[in-house]
Amino acid sequence: MAAMGVRFLALKSFSPDVVIQFGYHVLSVPGSMFHLYCSSPYVIDSLLKVELFSQVTKVLLDIKSFASGLNSNSAISIVCNLLYLASHEGKRLLDRKKKNDFVNLMLQLLPLCEDTGIKPESNACFWHPLFGWCKGEIDVRLLRLFTYVQKQLQCLWHPAFVKVFFSDVLEPNPGNAKKHSLKMKRPFLSSVCEMYLLILLTVKNFVSDILIGLGCNDTVVFKIWCFFKDTTMLDFEEIFGTKSYILILSLLSQMMLYMLNILDDFDLFEKQRSFKNEDLAEITMFLNNLLFRTIWEEKELSQFSHCQGLLLMLYNRDCKKHFCRKEHWILQGFKRRILMKELDSNTNRGLRMLIQLPHIFPHQKVSMKYSSCPYSLFFCVN
């Protein structure tokens, strides 16, 4: 039956009407592609020969009305089935057009699933093994075939799959044109990061699996960091005004957070896995300046919440075992004088700095300034 269906699609030259019906009746069945592979592995070869994946993604992407006719359960089933088909494409997926079509189709389908996960507010909510807490209609098929869907989702953090979709940053850059080359790669990388961020918002029970799978690829994490490594103060304006930078930075921060939670002091500081100590110091300097500018210019801090979490995590690790120089975290010179003036004036900006970035203040001098005790009492005799 599967072979006949594929043959019918090919005979109809993947006409839009036939592909839409294929999407509604085959791809929307949870785990259908994985079940097909387990039952008849040779059929996957037939799908590859007729280029089913590229043809279907191209047609579904062009037909905007397709996504509007889907509910959240059907949309996530189509996403998982397409992910599984993409994983079998192998090196064929290195083609830029195929990757672009697939990622753009994912960006159309995934927002349909965002309303599935909620906070448990009433007895009408139920626990879903994929979405977490949900309310509304229960798709019995999705629950019954959850094992198949889970197998398909594992493609997201498979090393070969990650290598294909982050191939742009993994390619070596010419030494003279490194900065320009990175900017040219930014649009597609930001789309891939947005796809992963939407998936993280959708399949909440697989967040740790996805981020650990991505973070364990040391090369990918470091190469993404290279987009921000040589950032100057003038470049922060571009970061604030460009959605693509924020998307890349958000996924990078989440990957590094999970990576730092896993690595112990020996792996992080002695073996220096993923990052050297100098790199960690550069990351803290970048995040410190970024968040300082965000609060100082009274921009929305929530879009950099993961960056703040990463910065505080690095600060705690540095307190435990130093990898930064002395007074690395404290603002110096002109910035410190202005910040202390803001704090003296009791401005909202100064208070936000004190709450959100307490480590940038020289606490010893601040405490001595506001204490009524004599200066000599601040010294203890051993």
pLDDT value of position 254: 94
Burial group, residue 176, by CB count within 10 angstroms (0-12, 13-18, 19+): exposed
Burial group, residue 303, by CB count within 10 angstroms (0-12, 13-18, 19+): middle
Find the helix or strand (DSSP H, E) in which 343 lies: helix 333-344
pLDDT value of position 274: 78
| Annotated domain spans of the chain | 1-155, 166-326, 330-374
Which residue type sits at 225?
Answer: W
The mean per-residue pLDDT over the stretch 225-244 comes to 78
The mean per-residue pLDDT over the stretch 168-188 comes to 67
The answer, yes or no, to whether residue 33 has pLDDT greater than 50, is yes
Q: What percent of the chain shows pLDDT beyond 90? A: 27
Structure-model confidence comparison of residues 177 and 96, the more confident one: 96
The mean per-residue pLDDT over the stretch 61-73 comes to 83
Tens-place pLDDT, residues 351-368: 888 888 888 887 766 666
The answer, yes or no, to whether residue 22 has pLDDT greater than 60, is yes
The answer, yes or no, to whether residue 213 has pLDDT greater than 80, is yes
Helix, strand, coil fractions of the chain, as percent rounded to 5: 70, 0, 25
Among 4-18, 108-122, 191-205, 267-281, the minimum mean pLDDT is found in 108-122
pLDDT value of position 382: 37
How many CB atoms neighbour CB 284 within 10 A? 21
In this prediction, residue 248 has a pLDDT band, given cuts at 50, 70 and 90, of very high
In this prediction, residue 381 has a pLDDT band, given cuts at 50, 70 and 90, of very low
Average pLDDT, the chain: 83
* Token pair 């004088």 in the structure block, residue: 337
**Residues in Cβ contact with 41 at an 8 Å cutoff, skipping those fewer than 6 apart:** none
The answer, yes or no, to whether residue 231 has pLDDT greater than 90, is no
pLDDT value of position 120: 59
User: What number of helices (H) and strands (E) belong to the chain?
Assistant: 23, 2
The mean per-residue pLDDT over the stretch 52-67 comes to 87
The answer, yes or no, to whether residue 180 has pLDDT greater than 80, is no
In this prediction, residue 15 has a pLDDT band, given cuts at 50, 70 and 90, of confident
In this prediction, residue 73 has a pLDDT band, given cuts at 50, 70 and 90, of confident
In this prediction, residue 206 has a pLDDT band, given cuts at 50, 70 and 90, of very high
The answer, yes or no, to whether residue 7 has pLDDT greater than 80, is no
Among 63-72, 204-213, 271-280, 315-324, the minimum mean pLDDT is found in 63-72
Tens-place pLDDT, residues 256-314: 999 888 888 888 888 887 788 899 999 999 999 899 889 888 888 888 999 999 999 99
**Residues in Cβ contact with 127 at an 8 Å cutoff, skipping those fewer than 6 apart:** 133, 134
CA angle 17, 21, 27 (to 5 degrees): 135
